[in-house]
Structure 1
Amino acid sequence: MQPNDLGLSGKKAVVTGGVRGIGRGIVLALARAGVSVATNHRQDSAFADSLQHELKEIGGDHLLRRADLADADQATAFVREAGEHYGRIDLIVNNAGAISHIPYGDLPVEEWKRIIDINLTGPHLIIQGALDHLGEGSSVVNIGSKAAEAGVPNRAHYTATKSAQLGLTRSLCKELGPRGIRVNTLLLGVIQTEAFDDKPAEQREQALAMYSRKTALGRLGRPDEVAGAVLWLASDLSSYVTGAAIGVDGGIS
């Protein structure tokens, strides 16, 4: 099935953190399906420039803005600009996130707050800032992690935010449901992005082998496979799906 078969052409979307990795895959898949996409990046980079070029080649009314979602004013201004520009928002994908690996006993309060600001407060600000532009049939997709269910050592702060995200999803699906707005979370396993390419060759191969062995499918996921789940949740095919935590993890254990 081609993306356009899902009836998404003409819809308007906000995707946070869309210039690299999973977010980039989602942005490009939506744009190819005829969706107008507003996305943000925290700092200027070659990735932002190349995404701008790709979106121009695909065509459509897209917005690429510099906004740090850990800053409440910038987060709110970004989503409100998108809503005012498009007149409505049919889809929100809260993809932007941060992670660090620190033993709990050594975890500084500043790092705890940083991860919470980006992973939890950021999505809250984006959804809240978009409320006036969301309506019947709108879909909110929070990009979560399988870590919320499994727990991961040295990532207590990250795991806590992803677990809290599930609570936010469940509460908002009930509060916004009467307006016809659906809210779901995708629980991701290990997705192969540029972060793997940045590792030294031996370390990269070891990580790929280790995580591949943990999955039922024997391989890592791809950004376009996450994008496929987002396209489904953006479409009418998932019109009765809300409050769900959907694994996109290859059957990882």
Structure 2
Amino acid sequence: MELALYGKKVLVTGGTRGIGRGIVLAAARAGADVLTCHRQDGEAVESLLQALKETDGDHHVIRADLGGTAEADRLVGEAKDRFGRLDGVVNNAGVISHIPFGELSAEEWSRVLDTNLTAAYRVIHQALPLLGEGSSVINIGSRGAAAGIPLRAHYTAAKAAMIGLTRSLAKELGPRGIRVNVVAPGVIETEAFDAMPAERAAGLRATYAQKTALARLGTVEELAGPVLFLLSDLSAYVTGETVNVDGGI
């Protein structure tokens, strides 16, 4: 067996920036046909479209805001119309904000939970008829789900709940040959670091160099690797797991 995804049909939510973008491009380059979505048009969307045009396969980038269940349903409908089936689903779409708990409004709580957790439920739920034996669902979690992060109670709660959802679905869907796992990143250096003041970015790199066994931040490619493994047939006996990709934080 080899780590290749030739002929597999894969849906990746939130795939035009950061971790999601890295997963989309890695999966496409490994041979999968990939459909992904974004909330807003912009340069990131255009550059991803160009990169996918230069990559063999049947790839699609669709606008969909997964904060609403109707949009999640529409996205899966697009996957059905274009692919007819799905061999892999990667729930990556998410939002985050940093708010003291005492100031956390019900509206912001709902926004973050809806996008980070409820959207994953809805995508998996609607995709079930498209998933056959040997298919793989990967939920992108966070190392912070186990550690807890101040000012992110809503985000941390959503990511912790993702682990419970994954464990339950792994047991329920396992008899159908569908695997469900979490990949939990630590601090991954995305293009967001380029948008920061140089001093702040350098400070973050230095801080996490001291906190991780590997003494550095992770790269998007290093996060995409374990996702490809879980999408591939190499992981045929792996389900219900949380794979921490955090450099030994």
TM-score interval, normalised by the smaller of the two chains: over 0.9
1:52 deviates by 0.3
Distance in structure 1 (CA, Å) of the matches to 2:221 and 2:73: 28
What does residue 194 of structure 1 align with? 191
1:36 deviates by 0.2
1:59 deviates by 2.3
Q: Does 1:140 align with 2:146?
A: no
1:8 deviates by 1.2
Equivalent residue in structure 1 for 2:217, among 210, 217, 220: 220
Aligned length: 249
Distance in structure 2 (CA, Å) of the matches to 1:35 and 1:5: 14
Distance in structure 1 (CA, Å) of the matches to 2:85 and 2:248: 36
Q: Does 1:169 align with 2:158?
A: no
Runs of 4+ in structure 1 off by over 4 angstroms are: none
Distance in structure 1 (CA, Å) of the matches to 2:84 and 2:171: 25
What does residue 66 of structure 1 align with? 63
Letter of the 2:223 partner, please give it.
Answer: V
What does residue 52 of structure 2 align with? 55
Letter of the 1:123 partner, please give it.
Answer: A
Within 5 A, what are the aligned runs for 1:27-176? 27-176=24-173
SS at match of 1:128: helix
Q: How big is each residue's C-alpha offset from its partner over 1:199-228, in whole Å with a ceiling of 9 and x where there is no partner?
A: 111111111111221100000011111110
Q: How big is each residue's C-alpha offset from its partner over 1:131-166, in whole Å with a ceiling of 9 and x where there is no partner?
A: 110010000000000111100111111100000000
SS at match of 2:239: coil
Distance in structure 2 (CA, Å) of the matches to 1:189 and 1:7: 25
Query: Is 157-166 or 71-80 further displaced after alignment?
Result: 71-80
1:182 deviates by 0.2
Aligned-residue Cα RMSD (Å) equals 1.0
1:83 deviates by 2.2
TM-score by length of 2: 0.98
Letter of the 1:96 partner, please give it.
Answer: A
Distance in structure 2 (CA, Å) of the matches to 1:100 and 1:107: 10
TM-score by length of 1: 0.96
Distance in structure 2 (CA, Å) of the matches to 1:5 and 1:18: 25
1:194 deviates by 1.1
What stretches of structure 1 of length at least 5 have no aligned partner? none
Q: How big is each residue's C-alpha offset from its partner over 1:39-88, in whole Å with a ceiling of 9 and x where there is no partner?
A: 00001011000100000011210111000000111111111210231111
C-alpha contact 2:135 2:177 (8 A) present in aligned 1: yes
1:5 deviates by 3.8
SS at match of 1:129: helix
SS at match of 2:201: helix
C-alpha contact 2:2 2:234 (8 A) present in aligned 1: no
Distance in structure 2 (CA, Å) of the matches to 1:129 and 1:182: 16
Q: How big is each residue's C-alpha offset from its partner over 1:79-133, in whole Å with a ceiling of 9 and x where there is no partner?
A: 1210231111000000111111111111111110100010001111111110110
Distance in structure 2 (CA, Å) of the matches to 1:212 and 1:134: 40
Distance in structure 2 (CA, Å) of the matches to 1:199 and 1:85: 38
Distance in structure 2 (CA, Å) of the matches to 1:19 and 1:233: 21
What does residue 184 of structure 1 align with? 181
Query: Is 4-13 or 129-138 further displaced after alignment?
Result: 4-13
Letter of the 2:8 partner, please give it.
Answer: K
Q: Does 1:21 align with 2:18?
A: yes
